[in-house]
Amino acid sequence: MNARQRFNACMRFEKVDRLPFFDFAYWTETLTRWYEEGLPRDDYPARYFGLDRFWEGVPVNLNMVPGFEHVVLEEDAETVTYRSSDGITARHRKTGSSIPQFLDYPVKTLDDFRRLVAERYHASSRTRLPQYFDDYARSVRDRDYPLGCPTGGFFGQIRNWMGLENACIAFAQQPEFIHEMCDFIADFTIEVIDPVLDAVDVDYCSFWEDMAYNSGPLISPAMFREFLLPRYKRVTECIRSHGVEVITVDCDGDHGLLTPLWLEGGVNLFYPLEIRAGIDPVAMRREYGERALLMGGVDKFALAAGREAIDRVIDEVVAPLAPQLGFVPMPDHRVPPNVALDDYIYYLKRCREVTTFA
């Protein structure tokens, strides 16, 4: 089977030669360490490790067009403060891969939002799609790997416009503001992706939210039901009208209270299933059966704890889920730099042993 056949069959709970096999990503510092431990510098890590081709999407631009001018506002020996193309002002350390300190956002009021939309979110902009889109569509028609279509997000997009604290306050205190933003996001997303799904036979569509932390979601299930659920249904109905069966959501943290709402809204594949946040993929399969497709669930910290810990993850998570299908084992976020190359290769070897059927 090729990678595309394998992914689609696995997601449909049909017979496969083995499970799909790929990773979330690696921190830059992880690769630096692995190069010192023998990883070839003249090859792609995924290719070297023998992973399936994945994480490729139709190059749809759902961002601001045009973006803000990137401007450096302040700089010293250790940090640089800048306004990025998405209008966010942030301070970033010059070394390492740390998350920036976010200082300011482009949307504070309803007027800010309406002005941003009027100036930078025209769905009909030709730059939303590749310049030679017809050629691109023909080039992927006979591919042998799964291809996705990005569909943005709701909470994630609002947070990027307003900042996390301001967004959460608005969900609680400015319901009409949130309703207007969510309606716009749904309308805009459908208008952009509808012609894409007409032209390209994609294998999945993908939302990105990151709306939970290690103790639970950042908004309540009641808020999700009021603000997000009706708009999710609109977008996923559009997606399914084009024959796309797999609709993913990328959400870190403990999203357990939101999982049934995403399922109700038409989303059916969840990743990266962060173990330390309390997500249990074996329990999810037991609770939701084949309604929930699973991707991730391999504790990234266990990969750093030695082979006994790796064996435990394989035996307790991967081995029980593998024969049930509808599951792709994967570290539950970027592989951290405290994982030794030899231990990572050992994890791949053990994982292959319990996910190969032919």
Q: What per-residue confidence (pLDDT) applies to 99? A: 81
CATH of domain 3-63+106-355: 3.20.20.210
Q: What per-residue confidence (pLDDT) applies to 308? A: 98
Q: What per-residue confidence (pLDDT) applies to 263? A: 98
Residues 6+ apart with CB under 8 A from 40: 48
Q: What per-residue confidence (pLDDT) applies to 9? A: 98
pTM check: above 0.85: yes
Q: Which residues of the chain have pLDDT under 70?
A: none
Domain ranges of the chain: 3-63+106-355, 69-105
| Rounded CA separation 40/26 (Å) | 15
CB count in 10 Å sphere of residue 12? 15
- Report the largest interatomic distance among the alpha carbons of the chain, rounded to a whole angstrom: 60
What digits encode the pLDDT tens for the residues 34-78?
999 999 999 999 999 999 999 999 999 999 999 999 999 999 999
Q: Tell me, what DSSP letter sits at residue 260?
A: H
Residues 6+ apart with CB under 8 A from 171: 178, 219, 223, 227
Closest CA to 82 of 107, 104, 115, 63: 104
Q: What per-residue confidence (pLDDT) applies to 218? A: 97
Residue 54 pairs in a beta bridge with: none
Residues 6+ apart with CB under 8 A from 16: 1, 6, 9, 10, 325, 357
Closest CA to 302 of 318, 288, 324: 318
* 277: its two tokens: 């946040």
Q: Report the 3 state secondary structure along 74-112.
A: EECCCEEEEECCCCCEEEEECCCCCCCEEEECCCCCHHH
For the chain, how big is the Rg over CA atoms in Å?
21
